[in-house]
Amino acid sequence: MSTRRLVTTALLTLALSLAMAAPAMAYAPVNIVHTERVQAGPYRVTVGFSVWPIRAMQSLDFTFMPDGGIAGKSGTLTQTGPGVKADEHVTPLVRHPRKYDSWGLDVQALSAPGTYSLGFAIDGPQGHGEGSVRGLTVLNQPGPPLALSWLVGSLPFLGLVVFIAIAWRRLQPGRRPLTV
């Protein structure tokens, strides 16, 4: 293969890779459909939810935006409720990966229905403040039960396994003598 063909092939492969990756690199904006206002000491915080009402095991984005922005501030988030594990109880508030001007949780799901609370501790130029959103109701999981969803979703894979097993037995590749 000539050097020219090799370079052309490499450039074409690179161009196609970048063209196909462009849609994947684009991200959907965080659409906030419901907000709650919370007073955390001297700070007013707007808590945003990308799905409302919230259902168990349904992914959504949480955003936390103090008035005046997040610059020069830090904080922690305390979650309580039936689906919160002890090691997930307190987490630092970090910049949302798709909404850079606020703190947030990206594509999170609350695992059980019930009543949750989100507590905030914020430190900034005006001092320390604490506040919470209480009585956040999480409804039952949408759709059919999880086990049924997995069973229906795995049927094509099980069909493929059965097809391959039948084809393997009919062909019996290890038992046939080689013919030349």
The full DSSP string for 86-150 is GGGSEEE--B-SS-TTSEEEEEE---S-EEEEEEEEEEETTEEEEEEEEEEEEBPPSSS-HHHHH
Q: Is 108 exposed, middle or buried (0-12, 13-18, 19+ CB in 10 A)?
A: middle
Q: Are 32 and 47 in contact (CB under 8 A)?
A: no
**Class assignment of domain 34-138?**
mainly beta
Contact 162, 168 (CB under 8 A): no
Q: Where are the domains of the chain?
A: 34-138
CA 53/CA 60 separation, integer angstroms: 11
- Calculate Rg over the CA atoms of the chain: 26
pLDDT by residue for the chain (180 residues), tens only, comes to 578 888 888 788 888 777 776 655 555 677 889 999 999 999 999 999 999 999 988 889 999 999 999 999 999 999 999 978 766 688 999 999 888 889 999 888 888 999 999 998 999 999 999 999 999 999 998 888 888 989 999 999 999 999 999 988 888 766 666 666
